[in-house]
Amino acid sequence: MIHAENLSVSYDDVDALADVDLDVDEGEFVTVVGPSGCGKTTLLRTIGGLQEPTTGTVTVDGDPPEVAQSAARLGFVFQDHTLLPWKSAVENVTFLRRMAGKDPDPAGARDLLTTTGLDGFEDARPSELSGGMKQRVAIARAVHLGADVLLMDEPFGELDEITRDEMGVEILRLWRKNRKTVVFVTHSVPEAVFLGDRCLVVAADGDADPAANGSPGRIVAEFDIDLSRPRDESVFGSETFGAQVARVRGALHGDT
């Protein structure tokens, strides 16, 4: 579904990403974990057609990302939820479909808001919602758009740990139901392991030494996550989960 080959991205004086080869299958949930500044957002933006690669190519279902984006086949969920403050939750959810020229389907949007735990808040404005609730609206909006691919950049980064765990369970439930292809960027190793079929570790040389900089991020390790599905909070206490988290942490610290 997503294919990237020999991808590198440089900004004016920063080499952000290099040598990325990546294939994500249809319906797969891939997580990307790595330290701050290693190029995770750059990777996601490049897959989404928001950033031009310096070298290499990316395709989404065989098309350039810009084509996939304009056909509303890509949905984005970012850390700052970018809801329209003057619109209600349900209007925010229907907005992108309307913009894409699709039937806005408010009844479907209301169902989706119920599924994401926002029953009774469909007509509330963003200012009346907590951070977690706003993020649920943003996720419902991306799913409602009907995109095949969801690109999520630290969507739970601003949330407290308990809400974050709940949102993880929620997103897996939605994913099971809608079977999207997901690329999910996070700083959190446990989150990356809990959510993913596969976890990519991105790091740059010198990440262990924050004073060193200048080298681009690369995919330095990749793990198939060996945890059965469906997964819920009970997974967190399991030995297998702990072992997988340790393996990913090891790779982040350069122990591969």
Ligand X SMILES: Nc1ncnc2c1ncn2[C@@H]1O[C@H](COP(=O)(O)OP(=O)(O)OP(=O)(O)O)[C@@H](O)[C@H]1O
Cα–Cα distance for residue pair 148/175, rounded to 1 Å:
11
Cβ(140)–Cβ(177) below 8 Å: no
Is residue 234 close enough to count as binding ligand X by CB under 6 A? no
The residue among 143 and 202 lying less far from ligand X, judged by its C-beta, is: 202
Choose the binding region for ligand X from 32-40, 62-70, 126-134, 224-232 (rule: CB under 6 A).
Answer: 32-40
Is residue 65 close enough to count as binding ligand X by CB under 6 A? no
The residue among 45 and 231 lying less far from ligand X, judged by its C-beta, is: 45
Is residue 40 close enough to count as binding ligand X by CB under 6 A? yes
Is residue 33 close enough to count as binding ligand X by CB under 6 A? no
Is residue 39 close enough to count as binding ligand X by CB under 6 A? yes
For ligand X, which residue of 4, 8, 20, 34 counts as binding (CB under 6 A)?
A: 34
Cα–Cα distance for residue pair 181/175, rounded to 1 Å:
8
Cα–Cα distance for residue pair 233/161, rounded to 1 Å:
12
Cβ(56)–Cβ(5) below 8 Å: yes
**CA of residue 255 relative to chain centroid, distance:** 26
Cα–Cα distance for residue pair 86/138, rounded to 1 Å:
15
The residue among 145 and 150 lying less far from ligand X, judged by its C-beta, is: 150
- Contacting positions for ligand X (CB under 6 A): 11, 14, 16, 34, 36-42, 187
